[in-house]
Amino acid sequence: MEPLRSIRSDTTAGGPARALYTPAERRRRDTTVWTLVQGILAPLQFLVCLVSLALVVRYLATSEGYEAAAVSVVVKTLALYAIMVTGSIWEKVVFGRWLFAPAFFWEDLVSMGVIALHTAYVAMLVAGLGTPGEQFAVALAGYAAYVVNAGQFVLKLRAARLAGSPVLVEPAGPAGAAA
């Protein structure tokens, strides 16, 4: 059997390490439909992000295609909401918590920032606040945060897959202490 590897999800947390999934959590993860839903929505959202990014950059570079760029950011935001809602359902099924399960505490925390930035863009758009350039700057900040967040998930899940056995994560901190 391969030795357990440690993934630090919090560089300042102390205490004993915890496996990313207990055997029961792994079974729930492998049997819930929500795992498949997340597996479909994640690459779909990434594709929507790439298309939207191209449309926003095109508008910023040429001042053409504002409507398409604006609609694309709204579609990206709706895709984000969909993956966040279904992801929280997945987390509830697998870990018994809607959000901030110790294994994914930092990923969920960054996700809240991603949602805040996307929502701020939509609010600016609907309320007519700021110039299109300012609105798209908020959208692009949201996209940058999304890329960081996606990277968090990819790295953690890749490490878990490569380990082939339970992967250790450090406790997430104050919120990670509660079950």
pLDDT of residue 17: 56
Does residue 42 carry a pLDDT above 80?
yes
Q: Is the confidence at residue 21, as pLDDT, over 70?
A: yes
Q: Which ranges of 99-131 would DSSP assign to H, the alpha helix?
A: 105-127
Give the strands of the sheet with 168-169, arranged side by side. Answer: 6-7, 168-169, 18-19
- pLDDT(41) > 80: yes
pLDDT at 164: 61
**Mean pLDDT, all residues of the chain:** 84
Q: Given a cut of 80, is residue 131 above it in pLDDT?
A: yes
- pLDDT tens, position by position, 55-76: 999 999 999 999 999 999 999 9
Whether 85 has a pLDDT exceeding 50, the answer reads yes
**Residue 161's pLDDT band (cuts 50, 70, 90):** confident
22 to 45, 58, 104, 169, 179: CA distances (angstroms): 29, 46, 14, 12, 13
128: left (phi over 0), alpha (psi -120 to 50) or beta: left
